[in-house]
Structure 1
C-alpha cells in the first residue's frame, strides 16, 4: 500500500493549487508573475542552451519514442507483457486524457508572450512537460531498475532522473511558457499517477 499512500501524498500540492486557483486566483497569479519576472532576469547564453535542450526531453516526439522503446524492451526482451500493458495504460491515461482534460477545464492563459522563448498554443495549467517528466521518467527508471542490470547503478540512475525532472520543470518557467504553479501542479499529478501505476505493476508482478 506504500505506493497508494505516496500517490495520495504527492497529489496534495495539485489539490492546494487548484483551491488557490479557484478561491484566490489574483493572489496566486501575482506570486507566479513575480517568480517569472525573477527567473527571466537570470537568462544567459549558457542557460538558454541548457534549458532549451532539457525541455526537449519532455516534448511529445521524444516522449513517444521513450514509451515505445520501453514497451518493446518489456515485451520482446523481458517478456513482461502484463507490465507493458499497465505501463502503456498509465502513460496514455495521464498524458493523452487527464492532462489535456485539465488544461481545457481550467483554461488558464500562459505567461505574457513577451516572456516566451518558445512557442506554445495550449492552455497553461497544469504543465504537460512537467507532468510527463514526473510520471514517465520515474516510472520507466523504476521498471528498468526492477528488471534489468540498471539495478547495479540505481543511485546514479536516480540522481540523473532527479536532474532531468527538475531541469524540465524549471525550463518551462525559464522559457516563459509556464508559471511556477503550473509546474508544481504538473509535477504533483505526474508523480501521483507514477506511484499509482507502480502499485498496479507491483500487484500483477507479485505472486499471490
Structure 2
C-alpha cells in the first residue's frame, strides 16, 4: 500500500524504506558468508559435526527412494546444469541489451557466469572434496564442495526474481513468475542431495555463498535505486 501524505514526505519515506531494506539484505549476506566460511572450515578439517549434518540431511531428504521421486528430481536438476544456465543467460542478456538495460545485463552475466559457474569451479578445485560415496542416481563428475547447481539456482533464478521486481509492473505476472522461480530455487538443490551427487553441507554452502554474491552484486550494481518499472 502506498503511503499517504505530502509527495515530498512520501518520497523521503520511500527512500528510507529502500535503504533500510538494502542494509538488511547486506547484513544477511554477511551472515551467509560467515556460514559458508564455517562450513568450509568444517569440511577441510573433516569434523564430526559436518558428518552429522550430512547424515541427517541424507536421511531426511533421500529416504525413501522411489521411482516417482527419482523421476521428479532427475528432471528438476536439469534446470541447474551449466549448458542450460549459460543458454538462458545468453538469451536474456540479448533481450536486456535490445531493451538498453545495461545494469540488468551486467547483473545477470556477473552472477551466472562469474559467480555461479566461475567461482564455484575455482572453490571446488581449492577445497577438493570428493562426491559422496553412495549410490548416484545420475552421472556426476568432478568435485563436490560447494554445490555448483545450488549456486546456479540461487544466482540465476534469484537474479531473475530481483530483475522482475525492478522491471515488471504487472503484479499478477510478477507474483506468478517469482513463485515458480522460488520453487526452483528450493527444489533444485534438494535434487542434488536426493540423487546422491552432493552432501547436504555442499548444498547449504552453495545456498550461503550464492546468496552472498547475489546480494553483494545487487548492492554494487543497483545500490539504493528504487524499482524501475518499464515492462507492462
* TM-score, reference length from structure 1: 0.87
TM-superposed deviation, 1:204: 9.0
2:29 equivalent in structure 1:
7
For 1:150 and 1:169, the matched residues in 2 are separated by: 29
Q: How does 1:112-191 map to 2 (within 5 A)?
A: 112=133, 114-149=134-169, 151-191=171-211
Question: Which stretch of structure 1 is more off in the superposition, 115-124 or 37-46?
Answer: 37-46
Matched residue SS, 1:172 = helix
TM-superposed deviation, 1:166: 1.0
1:111-169 deviations in whole A, cap 9, x for unaligned?
11x42001111100000000110111011221123112454433333322221111101
TM-superposed deviation, 1:173: 0.5
Query: Are 1:136 and 1:194, in contact at CA under 8 Å, matched by a contact in 2?
Result: no
Greater relative contact order (Cα 8 A, min sep 6): structure 1 or 2? Answer: 1
Please say if 1:106 is aligned against 2:127. Answer: yes
TM-superposed deviation, 1:199: 1.0
TM-superposed deviation, 1:63: 0.6
1:88 equivalent in structure 2:
109
2:55 equivalent in structure 1:
33
For 2:39 and 2:147, the matched residues in 1 are separated by: 13
TM-superposed deviation, 1:106: 0.9
Matched residue SS, 1:120 = coil
Matched residue SS, 2:223 = helix
Matched residue SS, 1:115 = coil
TM-superposed deviation, 1:75: 1.1
Q: Answer with 1 or 2: which has the greater Rg.
A: 2
Query: Are 2:131 and 2:197, in contact at CA under 8 Å, matched by a contact in 1?
Result: yes
Matched residue SS, 2:131 = coil
Cα distance change on mapping 1:4 and 1:117 into 2, 3 Å? same
Cα distance change on mapping 1:26 and 1:185 into 2, 3 Å? same
Cα distance change on mapping 1:163 and 1:86 into 2, 3 Å? closer
Cα distance change on mapping 1:87 and 1:40 into 2, 3 Å? closer
TM-superposed deviation, 1:74: 1.2
Structure 2 residue runs without a partner (length 5+)? 1-21, 227-232
TM-superposed deviation, 1:14: 1.0
How many pairs were matched up?
Answer: 204
